[in-house]
Amino acid sequence: MSARRSTLPWPLVALFTAGYLAPYLLPTTVGRLDTGLPLTATEAGAVGSALLLCSAAAGFLLASRVDRVGARRLARVGLTLAVLGYGGAALTHTVWAVVVGALLGGFGSGTTTAVAATGIAAQRDPHRTTTVGLLAVSALAGVVYLTVPHLGPGHGQPLAAIALTALAVWPLTARLPRRTTTRATHRERTPLPHLRAGLLLAATLPCWSLAQNALWGVSGRIGLTQAGLSETTVGAVFAIALGAGLLGVIGAGALGPRLGRALPIGLGTVLIAACITLSASATDLTTFATGEIAWNTLYPIVLSYVIGLAASLDPKGRWAVLVGSASSLGTAAGPLTGSVLSTQVGFAAMGASLAVGLLIIAVPMTTVAMSTHPGARGTARPAPTEPAAELRTRTPQLPQDTWPATTHRVPGTTPGRSSERAPATAPH
């Protein structure tokens, strides 16, 4: 496949958006569960954590099974679960039914994200596709934050927004492949490359995500109770903050691999720690808005480089899904952690604790980024040691209904001539 196939894979971007929308709407979802249902703040945070835990569980279960089941079929299953789960939770006021619906929807979000992550890892430029996905989900979440306060009280509006997004993405699944490997490759088993780097990244990402989402899960309460703002004002701050995040993602996409990955991930995490401290200690609109806007500008930048780093560790997408699911574990624990800490020690002390944790884990994350060096595709994938002709002979012929192919330069070929092969996918 030639470079003509360099256009963005919009179905994957849409799936990425549908899968990530639930975490982005976490503050308003948890806040409205607290105010719209007979739940305490801690109980509402626990529901949010359980939702995201189901999302993480789906990622772990499906990390190596996307090609076996088929991307199209699995994406449709995930979107169906999201529509039924979130939609059902939005339409009922029975607590147990809302909880069950949220858990079902969370599993659907995780399934959708797993399909998107696997497909993005096989792209020529996974970082570019990731940044576009983050742009889309940030923009959509910003619209929701501006709209929800004008739709009246109740817990159902943010949940309905996630369900409607999943429903809107459904038609695009027709452009996804039915499967990404042949039967022969199902029988092949290849070990995970970059095992040490992958395991270290997977071990640190839960802590990184926990710190982010512990604050994000209680940001609405900080604005409403500690800073004394109205829901409309808090929603406007979140919308502006997500808009600033759009600018950050655009900047990250423009820079690409020019700065490497170590500097954006390491320095970005340190700056995020400072923003969390500022936001958690806010007692007025200026401080609250400054902290939230600065944090939301930096967070998607660092996240895009982290996702790109994970995708670079394995062209089959297994590390991308596993690291993403490990991150979701921290995301899942975030709302409950934030609720418990803020209740026990207050918002300011909570922010200081989270900031210290981020400073500590910035070290191993930066180490992983420094140990991998972007190649021609901006990845850390090892070059083949086989002759080009032998590589072409051994590469299995995949059905036409596969992920968009990518062009790889094989060592030994002359400049201007590339040896093409189908994109590597996880053998199962």
pLDDT surpasses 80 at 3: no
Distances in Å between the alpha carbon of 93 and those of 41, 86, 106, 137, 407? 17, 13, 18, 27, 52
pLDDT per position as a tens digit, 6-23? 577 888 999 999 998 998
pLDDT of residue 180: 52
188: confidence class by pLDDT, cuts 50, 70, 90: low
pLDDT surpasses 90 at 381: no
Structure tokens given for 259: 């700065």
pLDDT surpasses 90 at 108: yes
From first CA to last CA, the distance across the chain in angstroms is 24
Looking at 3-12, 100-109, 145-154, which range is the least confident one? 3-12
pLDDT per position as a tens digit, 212-251? 888 887 888 899 999 888 888 988 898 888 788 878 878 7
Distance separating alpha carbons of residues 38 and 249, to the nearest angstrom: 38
282: confidence class by pLDDT, cuts 50, 70, 90: very high
Task: Compute the average pLDDT of residues 92-116.
Answer: 92
HEC string for 207-264? HHHHHHHHHHHHHHHHHHHHCCCCHHHHHHHHHHHHHHHHHHHHHHHHHHHHHCCHHH
102: confidence class by pLDDT, cuts 50, 70, 90: very high
pLDDT surpasses 90 at 394: no
Looking at 151-160, 256-265, 374-383, which range is the least confident one? 374-383
pLDDT of residue 41: 79
pLDDT surpasses 80 at 377: no
404: confidence class by pLDDT, cuts 50, 70, 90: very low
pTM over 0.85: no
pLDDT surpasses 50 at 2: no
pLDDT of residue 189: 58
Looking at 5-19, 192-206, 378-392, which range is the least confident one? 378-392
Task: Calculate the dihedral angle through the C-alpha atoms of 112, 25, 298, 358, rounding to the nearest 10 degrees.
Answer: -90
pLDDT surpasses 80 at 427: no
pLDDT of residue 179: 64
